[in-house]
Copies of this chain bind each other. A is one copy, B any other.
Amino acid sequence: MSDLHGNRGGKRERLIQSAQLLVHQQGVQRTTLAQVAANAQVPVGNVYYYFKTKDELVAAVIATYDDEMRAMLVMLERRPEPADRLKALTRHWADMGEISARYGCPMGSLCSELDKADGALDRDAERIMAIVVDWAEEQFRQMGQREPRDLAIALFSSVQGSALLANTFRDPDIVARQARRLEDWIDSLT
């Protein structure tokens, strides 16, 4: 493995991981580079060797979500039935209920915050959401549904909304119960 980016000890990776956690917990604006550096056990001023700006670091965090989401969808493709794939995705989100109740959906709350910002980061975050919706749309289409796009958005809306309410009320049960409803709903379509 070459030493691109001079990542002796994987500092770059540690910084991204640290930023990912802190941004989820505190949001982009409230997370300072000092916190990210401390959490990654890297000197503050050194951050700028790996990322020219804070936005660039956040972009790297978003890129990580992108990778993770794509990998997840590839995994789901293994299932032969589109309805099963959709239910598995729903269950995956339900499994994150505890953490969503604490800090919100990592991508959802990030999109919410970035859409109020000036930069171009919101476009990066939007792309990930689009990947999920497009994928769900394709599954509903394969199920022979008439309006697969609306169904995909209905599913994803419910997931995002229940994560928001779970976070607001600090009640992980909200995600779990709504996920169960959604699985039943998917079954009812077949």
Taking a contact as CB atoms under 8 Å apart, the answer to whether A165 and B169 are in contact is: no
Taking a contact as CB atoms under 8 Å apart, the answer to whether A161 and B157 are in contact is: yes
- Bound together, the chains give a CA A116 to CA B168 distance in angstroms of 10
Q: Which residues of B contact A115 (CB under 8 A)?
A: 103-104, 167-168
Taking a contact as CB atoms under 8 Å apart, the answer to whether A129 and B162 are in contact is: no
Q: Least Cβ distance of A100 to chain B in Å?
A: 11
- Bound together, the chains give a CA A26 to CA B111 distance in angstroms of 13
Q: Least Cβ distance of A55 to chain B in Å?
A: 14
**Interface residues of A: mostly helix, strand, loop or mixed?**
helix
- Bound together, the chains give a CA A153 to CA B180 distance in angstroms of 13
Q: Least Cβ distance of A159 to chain B in Å?
A: 7
- Bound together, the chains give a CA A166 to CA B154 distance in angstroms of 12
Taking a contact as CB atoms under 8 Å apart, the answer to whether A167 and B30 are in contact is: no
Q: Which residues of B contact A159 (CB under 8 A)?
A: 161
The answer to whether the Cβ of A178 comes within 8 Å of any Cβ in the partner chain is yes
The answer to whether the Cβ of A172 comes within 8 Å of any Cβ in the partner chain is no
Taking a contact as CB atoms under 8 Å apart, the answer to whether A165 and B181 are in contact is: no
Taking a contact as CB atoms under 8 Å apart, the answer to whether B29 and A126 are in contact is: no
Taking a contact as CB atoms under 8 Å apart, the answer to whether A116 and B161 are in contact is: no
> Assuming the A-B contacts A150-B181, A161-B164, are A116 and B130 also in contact, with contact meaning beta carbons closer than 8 angstroms in the complex?
no
Q: Which residues of B contact A20 (CB under 8 A)?
A: none
Q: Which of A149-190 contact B (CB under 8 A)?
A: 150, 153-154, 156-162, 164-165, 167-169, 174, 177-178, 181
